[in-house]
Amino acid sequence: MPKEEYAMLLSAIFAPVSKNGPAKVKDPGLVNIVKAGYGLYDNHKDALVLLPLGTSLLESLTEEIEIDLVLRKAQNVLTGMGEEGGLAIASRSLKTEDQLPLIFMEREGNTLYASGFFKEDTDFRQHLEGFIAGISAVLDLQDLEFQIIPEHRYIEGSWEPLLSLCVSGDKSAWKGKTGFLCPECGWGGTECSEAAPFESDSGEEEETPESLEEAHTPGADTIEELCRQLELPPQKTLKTMFFTTEGEEQPRVVVALMRGDRKISPLKLARYLGVSSVRLATSEELHGAMGILGGYLGPKGLPENIMMVADLSVPGLLNVAIGANKPDYHYRGACWDRDFSTPHVTDLLQPGAGVPCPVCGTPLEETCWREIAVIGERKDLRARYSSVDYRDAEHKKRDPRFVSITISLDQLLLAFFEEEGSLVPMLAPFMAYLYVAEDAGDTEEAGAFMQEVYMALQEMEIPVLMDDCTAKPGNRKYNAEVLRFPWKLSVTAEGLAQGKILLSGAEEEDLLLSPQDLGEYFDSFVMNEMEDPFEE
């Protein structure tokens, strides 16, 4: 925290506090950080520009994360190569087993990268849990609730499993991503999150397979219309959807099966197929593959060269309605194994608002995730450095296990500013904001007393920002709120008459204290609050 005299006067710090946020920006975190004078939004580059106060806060955040990484044997490097930096070093320097584990970290702009190398046979779940705990501890400082979301992403030709550490944010969160949250059990995820669909124990009697019967269903080209005509609930129907693969030299038409009351996730289907993406097949593609048009297509009697992929909800279905592969007709009483089946079964469920939680069955709510960190083995990065290996105790060549961590520091800042409340002392640029309140008047006496308090705090090395330039008293009070320092120190009429300053905090009752009493207060309270949570 700054302690030099020039850094403790508002007139000497570029902190353009404003009552207006950036134009066309709806993210409350971004709006609040700009209003507080911690940063600016560059709409041309779609970037957050940090100013002196924002830089100070960012440095404090980074320091706390780095402290924990250092405890886990991480070492600072400077390569200018971002997420590849650690691999570049290891490819030149990793030689023997006794060098492991080898962990590097590097700051590049508002992003912190860490690269870890471990023995080939290391089960590094404990390491991953430790890294996540270190990042989470910083979130805990501001009482931010976070989720660890397992998911897959398509990176440079393959789908890779990743852990995404996220904070649930406003739906307008800048660079946020759509996700889902269970209000009951707290499960959180995205469309690519793996989770088996929740199945309740309904206690229904076992069904007896019915005979397969053809039913005339004119115009029933949607599940809703099919259910109306056949008087069936959606869960007694089967969706049969045709997709075309993308990112392959020869696109394929594939079939996805899903229980009628659920939606298919194209991302999960693409992941199972190992392609970059899939899209709904066109009428021409369907005609080329099937010789018929869509709308009444079902899984029975499809050509052998058409691959079928079924959701986990499909095996075991009995007596459901399926397409009959001819216009205006469906089958009733279709049963898994007897009438249709496939060896390709996987999770294809697309979560969504109102969809049962995969853990407890409570309807999910849509949210927007701020992604704070991404952790994974990143095979795409590892493949660029084939020379990263080491010799074990028997001088045999081994490939180290590799883990990559990317921490988005600007998203962490925005998460702090989206929530209400003051910054904790160990992160805030200043302990308190010192100003003359409106009822004290802009008198020479009030100004002199504020200066006396300021000098006393400076001697105690307690960083306080004194407002020596804001003309309007109402704006000073506004500054005190939006700056989010842990305490506010105001010269009031009552306090001035007693030679005392009014101290206000987010969780404490207001106190009138003499300048000398402030030292004792901060010594007894603030320093306890500032104890390093990472110290053992």
| 18 inside domain | no
Same domain, 240 and 187: no
Chain centroid to CA 287: how far?
42
What is the phi/psi pair of residue 306, to 5°?
-90, 120
Domain boundary residue among 418, 434, 459? Answer: 418
| 128 inside domain | yes
pLDDT value, residue 281: 92
pLDDT value, residue 294: 56
Same domain, 169 and 232: no
Same domain, 439 and 521: yes
Please tell me whether residue 224 adopts helix, strand or coil conformation.
helix
Question: Residue 504: which residues within 8 A CB-CB, separation 6 or more?
Answer: 487, 488, 489, 490, 510
| Both tokens assigned to 219 | 């115009």
| 54 inside domain | no
| Structural domain count, the chain | 3
The domain spanning residue 253 has which CATH number?
A: 3.90.960.10
For the chain, the first-to-last Cα distance in angstroms comes to 23
pLDDT value, residue 420: 86
Same domain, 122 and 233: no
Same domain, 223 and 322: yes
Same domain, 189 and 262: no
pLDDT value, residue 129: 84
CA distance 50 to 34: 9
The domain spanning residue 378 has which CATH number?
A: 3.30.930.10
Per-position pLDDT tens, the chain of length 536: 444 444 589 999 999 999 999 988 999 999 999 999 999 999 999 999 999 999 999 999 999 999 999 988 999 999 999 999 999 999 999 999 999 999 999 999 999 999 999 999 888 778 888 888 888 888 888 888 889 999 899 998 899 999 999 999 888 999 999 999 999 998 999 988 866 566 655 445 678 999 999 999 999 988 999 999 999 999 999 999 999 999 898 999 999 999 999 899 999 999 999 999 999 999 888 888 776 655 578 999 888 889 999 999 999 999 999 999 888 999 999 999 999 999 999 999 988 888 888 888 899 999 999 999 999 999 999 999 999 999 999 999 999 999 999 999 999 999 999 988 899 988 999 999 999 999 999 999 999 999 999 999 988 888 999 999 998 999 999 999 999 999 999 999 999 999 999 999 866 789 999 998 888 888 766 555 544 433 43
| 124 inside domain | yes
pLDDT value, residue 134: 84
| 198 inside domain | no
| Both tokens assigned to 191 | 């469309």
Q: What is the amino acid identity at position 41?
A: Y
| 384 inside domain | yes
| Both tokens assigned to 455 | 């000098």
Residue range of the domain that includes 113: 75-193+366-418
Same domain, 175 and 227: no
Strand 365-376 to 158-169 pairing: antiparallel
Q: Positive or negative CA dihedral for 147, 150, 151, 156?
A: positive
The domain spanning residue 495 has which CATH number?
A: 3.40.50.800
- Burial group, residue 506, by CB count within 10 angstroms (0-12, 13-18, 19+): middle
Q: How many CB atoms lie within 10 A of CB 8?
A: 21
Same domain, 372 and 342: no
Whole-model pTM: value is 0.87
Domain boundary residue among 399, 418, 437? Answer: 418
Same domain, 152 and 165: yes
pLDDT value, residue 1: 43
| 160 inside domain | yes
CA distance 81 to 87: 10
| Both tokens assigned to 362 | 């409570």
Domain boundary residue among 316, 346, 376? Answer: 346
pLDDT value, residue 204: 53
pLDDT value, residue 8: 87
Same domain, 440 and 488: yes
Same domain, 388 and 342: no
| 221 inside domain | yes
